[in-house]
Amino acid sequence: MGLYPQTVLDLGLTPGVGRHLVHIARPDGAQMNVQHGIPIAEVGAPAPATVPTAQPEKLYFNPLQSASVTAERIDDGVDYAGSGYFDALAECVVTSVKPGGWAPYGNFIEYKITQPGPLEGVFVYYAEGVDAVVQEGDTVRGGEHICSLIPGWHSGTEIGFAAGNGISSWASVDGGGHHSKWEVGGVTNVATASGIAFSRLVQRLGGIGGRLEGPIHGLYPPWAKGGQIPTSITPAPTTPTGGARGVTAPTNAQQLAQQYKWANDYWNAIWELHQGMGEASHHSHSAWAFAQGVKYRTTKA
């Protein structure tokens, strides 16, 4: 327990010098409400060392977790065809949304990863047959939607590392301000080292990688030397395709799903309902309540 500074002086002690044990008692002699023996106050004792609070590990999300896709070739990034949503790899800020900006292929969206770790400051793009569900300047958490896929788009979609200039892939400029020699020479749609690195990152996070077609051109980004993904990139738990949008279902709901052999879509719908999303039903509401221990009582009409 602590003593007021004036009390310390009244006891004839020197504040902050040495350690003093002081016996504390009530004037009427009644027993004091203490848990451990004689009440003792330490005066001038050194402050206990501050123990650093362990910080939760920052995880990275599979950008395909909310999509149903078929993987296609690797070029500047990785091409995919399908439906659903592309999600953010990690905490990020949206730096560019350009409808029709990647002519003639379609739209272009770029974000910068702000999450501390090996990919902090790295730019990522989602392009071609996608519609943004974010705006420039938005701050987005890892695993949240960035854009929806447009089913049947003539060029599919492409995702990869961006150059950070709001309109280009990293591969197209090799991270610098000039276009790569094969693009200047009119040779496009070729496999790039940057595209391979992004494909491997997607695979590390639980997604499906692209197909390598032909020789590899260009440079690997500095954060993926030799095409190797840093081992410190830890994947977040992946939700099944078609399930919860950018979130992981609660553990108790998932355990109940396994125990009662619910379909994955069922416990995903529970979580969607809890998040205020629009793809759950009244069946999901009952299941969610059950997962939370809510008891229902039936009565006859």
Per-residue model confidence as pLDDT tens digits over 102-149: 888 899 999 999 999 999 999 999 999 999 999 999 999 999 999 999
Domain that holds residue 37: 5-43
> Would you say residue 296 lies in a domain?
no
Q: Are residues 195 and 258 in the same domain?
A: no
Is residue 61 a contact partner of residue 89, using CB atoms and an 8 Å limit? yes
Q: Are residues 142 and 282 in the same domain?
A: no
> Would you say residue 245 lies in a domain?
no
> Would you say residue 299 lies in a domain?
no
Q: Are residues 221 and 256 in the same domain?
A: no
> Would you say residue 11 lies in a domain?
yes
> Would you say residue 48 lies in a domain?
no
Q: Are residues 220 and 257 in the same domain?
A: no
| CATH number for 169 | 2.70.70.10
Of 7-11, 222-226, 278-282, which has the strongest mean pLDDT?
A: 222-226
Measured CA to CA, the distance from residue 2 to residue 40 in angstroms comes to: 10
Q: Are residues 175 and 263 in the same domain?
A: no
Q: Are residues 74 and 157 in the same domain?
A: yes
> Would you say residue 145 lies in a domain?
yes
Q: Are residues 261 and 215 in the same domain?
A: no
- C-alpha distances (whole Å) from 176 to each of 147, 206, 218 are 27, 30, 12
> Would you say residue 190 lies in a domain?
yes
Query: Residues 198-219: pLDDT tens digits?
Result: 999 999 999 999 988 878 888 8
Q: Are residues 105 and 163 in the same domain?
A: yes
- Tally of domains in the chain: 3
* φ, ψ for residue 201, nearest 5 deg: -65, -45
Least confident range from 61-75, 203-217, 281-295: namely 281-295
Q: Are residues 210 and 78 in the same domain?
A: yes
Q: Are residues 31 and 104 in the same domain?
A: no
Buried b (16+ CB within 10 A) or exposed e, 6-43: eebeeeebeeeeeebeeeeeeeeeeeeeeeeeeeebeb
Q: Are residues 110 and 220 in the same domain?
A: yes
Q: Are residues 93 and 202 in the same domain?
A: yes
Q: Which of 176, 211, 227 is the endpoint of a domain? A: 227
Q: If you search the block for the tokens 């790295």, which residue do you land on? A: 122
> Would you say residue 54 lies in a domain?
no
Q: Which has more pLDDT, 235 or 52?
A: 235
Q: Measure the CA angle with vertex 207, ends 74 and 234; round to 5°.
A: 115
Does residue 14 surpass a pLDDT of 60? yes
Note the pTM of the prediction, 2 decimals.
Answer: 0.62
Query: Residues 221-266: pLDDT tens digits?
Result: 999 998 999 999 999 976 443 333 333 445 555 565 666 555 555 5
